[in-house]
């Protein structure tokens, strides 16, 4: 193995509890995407100041105050995803097509009077899928000596104080001794324990100025393969009250209720060697998060000149306070051939705590969001809108179920995440009184710093080492609308593209897998205004 000095950390530096969540979960569940009614999507979501669309209930709640009639709508369509990866000259592609139900909502418009200060008090509800996690992905290629087993060894080196402890872990028979997976008895990293018990982590002899010493070591990596399947989404339920004051000032308040369901299953395999020894191993991870959250959104729209259609608005979204439950299970299989011809084969599973999966409750607080929006109408036939939004992802917080902050994880969030800037532009033109044409564009900067990586602590219960650092996100949209009598139908097409760097494990010299994610969405909204 590489002759590097591995410092054995004292167990006195341990913090209470075992860790599972990372900055990557914090970012994943803080993100949202453009979705809602087809009119809203077709205009790039830049309708905060224009208002009078059910979907603005989730961006600028004051936009519901512009309604002068009741509205009921529902939206559905198809999502097609395509993911391409390139690692060391090896290219892979995956495609997926799914139907989706994206939105349903209503607005009840309550007129107070034509000459009163308060003209309307409106009430609204809207459901929409604010995040779609569905994604297939695979990558692989030559590792040039780097190996995930070396990360296992480093985790073992940071948590185990002696070679005798490694022997006890290896020889544990499920009956006598300390269960190495028990967080109350050992605080060992699950990935490291699995590596020891499958002989992917052994003991090497090193020498420094103090003399010889022994430390955990892994293998050399030859070729690797990785596959993942992600499913689920974030479902948002918004309840709104909004007002119209003299057709000049519009105020709105939205209570957001969120439901998360996320599931990922991953497979990683690696061909390994060390001198005359060789073999391969496989690691499977199953990870699921379910939970709910709440936030509040405040919005205001101002029409400074009564004779002008120009409006500007502001909106503030509080953090979403999530209570989440995650379950995860891992399986490792190794098949090794040693130089003397002997063979070794082993299957290792994480412990059976809840039907074969480890369960953990925790809390997440996402960042505040600040939104500025502009909108106007030209000649009574063309509406244009623009928005700017900012959210500081580095301010997100992870807490244990009892409310105590996860100090290490929160520090990783502050070190690796940053503020995200989002720009939305949109337009709508009436071709005829019945037909409308729309177009929009969104751009969001990356939430990750260039130095971001997934840090698994010495006592981590997670065994999935992979992570992905996304770059800027581009979205382009077009749409059509048709109105007749009380009914309307809108159609939108959305194209998302995002590039990212993927790493199957953490190693300083590991080259990034270059990934491009493309998503095509076709969305149809049917509604009635009366």
Please report whether residue 216 resides in a domain.
no
pLDDT confidence tier of residue 452, bands split at 50, 70 and 90 = very high
Please report whether residue 43 resides in a domain.
yes
Tell me the two tokens of residue 425: 């532009």
Please report whether residue 511 resides in a domain.
yes
Please report whether residue 61 resides in a domain.
yes
Q: What average pLDDT does this structure show over 514-520?
A: 95
Please check whether residue 70 is in contact with residue 109, taking contact to mean a CB–CB distance below 8 angstroms: yes
Please check whether residue 159 is in contact with residue 458, taking contact to mean a CB–CB distance below 8 angstroms: yes
| Residue 287 DSSP label | E
Predicted local confidence at residue 1, as pLDDT: 31
Please check whether residue 122 is in contact with residue 241, taking contact to mean a CB–CB distance below 8 angstroms: yes
Number of compact structural domains in the chain? 1
Half-sphere CA count of 373, side-chain side, radius 13 A = 31
Q: Can you tell me the distance from the alpha carbon of 321 to that of 24, in angstroms, rounded to the nearest whole number?
A: 17
Q: Is the pLDDT of residue 355 over 80?
A: no
Tell me the two tokens of residue 253: 């308040």
Q: What average pLDDT does this structure show over 157-170?
A: 86
Q: What average pLDDT does this structure show over 464-493?
A: 96
Share of the chain above pLDDT 70, in %: 95
pLDDT in tens, 263-291: 999 999 999 999 899 999 999 999 999 99
Q: Can you tell me the distance from the alpha carbon of 441 to that of 423, in angstroms, rounded to the nearest whole number?
A: 8
Please report whether residue 172 resides in a domain.
no
Please report whether residue 447 resides in a domain.
yes
pLDDT confidence tier of residue 194, bands split at 50, 70 and 90 = very high
pLDDT confidence tier of residue 350, bands split at 50, 70 and 90 = confident
Q: Can you tell me the distance from the alpha carbon of 131 to that of 358, in angstroms, rounded to the nearest whole number?
A: 26
Torsion angle (degrees, nearest 10) of CA 306, 529, 107, 475: -80
Predicted local confidence at residue 95, as pLDDT: 83
| Residue 289 DSSP label | E
pLDDT confidence tier of residue 17, bands split at 50, 70 and 90 = very low
Predicted local confidence at residue 207, as pLDDT: 77
Please check whether residue 372 is in contact with residue 385, taking contact to mean a CB–CB distance below 8 angstroms: no
Q: What average pLDDT does this structure show over 110-137?
A: 95
Q: Is the pLDDT of residue 432 over 60?
A: yes
Please check whether residue 298 is in contact with residue 288, taking contact to mean a CB–CB distance below 8 angstroms: no
Q: How many CB atoms lie within 10 A of CB 426?
A: 27
Torsion angle (degrees, nearest 10) of CA 272, 277, 282, 285: -80
Q: What average pLDDT does this structure show over 334-359?
A: 83
Q: What average pLDDT does this structure show over 330-349?
A: 94
- The answer to which of 73-82, 169-178, 474-483 has the lowest mean pLDDT is 169-178
Given the structure tokens 């992870």, which residue do they identify? 398
The whole domain housing 105 covers: 17-146+222-264+284-329+351-529
Share of the chain above pLDDT 90, in %: 78
Please check whether residue 119 is in contact with residue 111, taking contact to mean a CB–CB distance below 8 angstroms: yes
List all residues 6 or more positions away from 496 whose beta carbon is below 8 Å from its beta carbon: 33, 34, 473, 474, 475, 517, 518, 519, 520, 521
Q: Is the pLDDT of residue 19 over 70?
A: no
Q: Is the pLDDT of residue 485 over 50?
A: yes
Nearest to 39 by CA among 302, 385, 308, 301: 385
The β-bridge partners of 496 are 475, 519
Q: What average pLDDT does this structure show over 304-328?
A: 95
Given the structure tokens 């190693």, which residue do they identify? 507
Half-sphere CA count of 496, side-chain side, radius 13 A = 23
DSSP 3-state of 28: helix
Q: Is the pLDDT of residue 15 over 50?
A: no
Predicted local confidence at residue 490, as pLDDT: 98
Q: Is the pLDDT of residue 356 over 80?
A: no
pLDDT confidence tier of residue 353, bands split at 50, 70 and 90 = low
The β-bridge partners of 488 are 483, 527
Predicted local confidence at residue 21, as pLDDT: 80
More confident residue, 95 or 48: 48
CATH number, residue 358? 2.40.160.60
Please check whether residue 516 is in contact with residue 236, taking contact to mean a CB–CB distance below 8 angstroms: no
List all residues 6 or more positions away from 508 whose beta carbon is below 8 Å from its beta carbon: none
Q: Is the pLDDT of residue 335 over 80?
A: yes
Q: How many CB atoms lie within 10 A of CB 404?
A: 11
Please check whether residue 155 is in contact with residue 456, taking contact to mean a CB–CB distance below 8 angstroms: yes
Q: What average pLDDT does this structure show over 226-249?
A: 96
Q: Can you tell me the distance from the alpha carbon of 438 to that of 200, in angstroms, rounded to the nearest whole number?
A: 57
Q: How many residues does the chain have?
A: 530
pLDDT in tens, 377-414: 999 999 999 999 999 999 999 999 999 998 888 899 99
Residue 306, classified by CB atoms within 10 Å of its CB into exposed (0-12), middle (13-18) or buried (19+), is exposed
Taking every pair of Cα atoms in the chain, the longest distance, rounded to a whole number of angstroms, is 95
For the chain, what is the mean pLDDT? 91
SS3 of the chain: helix, strand, coil, percent, to 5: 10, 55, 30
Please report whether residue 138 resides in a domain.
yes
Given the structure tokens 């190495």, which residue do they identify? 180
Q: What average pLDDT does this structure show over 5-23?
A: 45
Please check whether residue 216 is in contact with residue 166, taking contact to mean a CB–CB distance below 8 angstroms: yes
**Strand-strand pairing, 321-337 and 343-349:** antiparallel
pLDDT confidence tier of residue 2, bands split at 50, 70 and 90 = very low
Q: What average pLDDT does this structure show over 427-441?
A: 96
Please report whether residue 7 resides in a domain.
no
Q: Is the pLDDT of residue 486 over 50?
A: yes
pLDDT confidence tier of residue 4, bands split at 50, 70 and 90 = very low
* DSSP for 111-153, written as a single string: E--SSSSEEEEEEEEEEEEEEE--EEEEEEEEEEE--HHHHHH
Q: Can you tell me the distance from the alpha carbon of 19 to that of 458, in angstroms, rounded to the nearest whole number?
A: 9
DSSP 3-state of 14: coil
Given the structure tokens 């940053």, which residue do they identify? 418
Q: Is the pLDDT of residue 332 over 50?
A: yes
């Amino acid at each position: 193995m590489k002759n590097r000095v591995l410092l054995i950390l004292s167990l006195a530096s341990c913090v209470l509890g075992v860790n599972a969540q990372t900055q990557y979960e914090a970012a994943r569940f803080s993100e949202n995407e453009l979705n809602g009614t087809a009119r809203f999507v077709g205009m790039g979501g830049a309708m905060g100041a224009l208002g009078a669309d059910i979907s603005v209930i989730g961006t600028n709640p004051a936009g519901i105050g512009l309604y002068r009639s009741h509205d009921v709508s529902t939206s559905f369509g198809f999502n097609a995803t395509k993911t391409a990866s390139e690692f060391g000259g090896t290219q892979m592609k995956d495609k997926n097509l799914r139907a989706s139900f994206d939105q349903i909502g209503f607005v009840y418009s309550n007129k107070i009077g034509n000459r009163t200060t308060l003209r309307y008090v409106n009430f609204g509800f809207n459901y929409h899928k604010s995040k779609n996690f569905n994604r297939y992905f695979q990558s692989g290629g030559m590792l040039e000596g780097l190996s995930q087993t070396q990360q296992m060894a480093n985790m073992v080196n940071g948590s185990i104080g002696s070679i005798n402890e490694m022997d006890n872990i290896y020889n544990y028979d499920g009956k006598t001794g300390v269960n190495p997976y028990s967080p109350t008895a050992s605080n060992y990293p699950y990935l490291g324990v699995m590596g020891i018990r499958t002989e992917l982590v052994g003991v090497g002899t090193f020498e420094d100025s103090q003399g010889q010493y022994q430390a955990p070591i892994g293998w050399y990596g030859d070729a690797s393969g990785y596959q993942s399947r992600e499913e689920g989404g974030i479902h948002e339920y918004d309840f709104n009250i909004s007002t119209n004051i003299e057709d000049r000032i519009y105020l709105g308040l939205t209570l957001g209720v969120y439901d998360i369901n996320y599931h990922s299953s991953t497979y990683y395999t690696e061909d390994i060697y060390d001198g005359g020894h060789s073999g391969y191993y496989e690691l499977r991870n199953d990870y699921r998060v379910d939970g709910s959250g709440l936030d509040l959104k405040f919005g205001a729209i101002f029409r400074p000149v009564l004779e002008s259609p120009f409006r500007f608005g502001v909106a503030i979204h509080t953090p979403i306070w999530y209570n989440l439950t995650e379950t995860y299970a891992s399986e490792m299989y190794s098949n090794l051939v040693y130089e003397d011809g002997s063979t070794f084969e082993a299957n290792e599973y994480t412990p059976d705590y809840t039907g074969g999966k480890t369960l953990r409750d925790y809390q997440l607080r996402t960042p505040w969001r600040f939104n500025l929006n502009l909108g106007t109408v030209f000649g009574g036939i063309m509406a244009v809108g623009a928005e700017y939004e900012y959210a500081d992802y580095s301010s997100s917080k992870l807490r244990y179920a009892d409310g105590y902050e996860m100090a290490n994880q929160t520090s990783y969030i502050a070190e690796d995440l940053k503020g995200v800037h989002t720009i939305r532009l949109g337009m709508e033109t009436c071709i005829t009184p019945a037909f409308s044409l729309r177009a929009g564009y969104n751009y969001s900067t990356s939430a990750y710093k260039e130095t971001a990586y997934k840090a698994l602590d010495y006592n981590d219960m997670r065994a999935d080492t992979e992570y992905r650092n996304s770059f800027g996100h581009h979205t382009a949209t077009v749409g059509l609308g048709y109105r007749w009598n009380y009914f309307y139908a809108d159609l939108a097409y959305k194209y998302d593209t995002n590039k990212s760097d993927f790493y199957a494990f953490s190693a300083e010299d590991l080259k990034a897998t270059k990934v491009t994610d493309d998503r095509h969405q076709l969305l149809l909204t049917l509604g009635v205004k009366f």
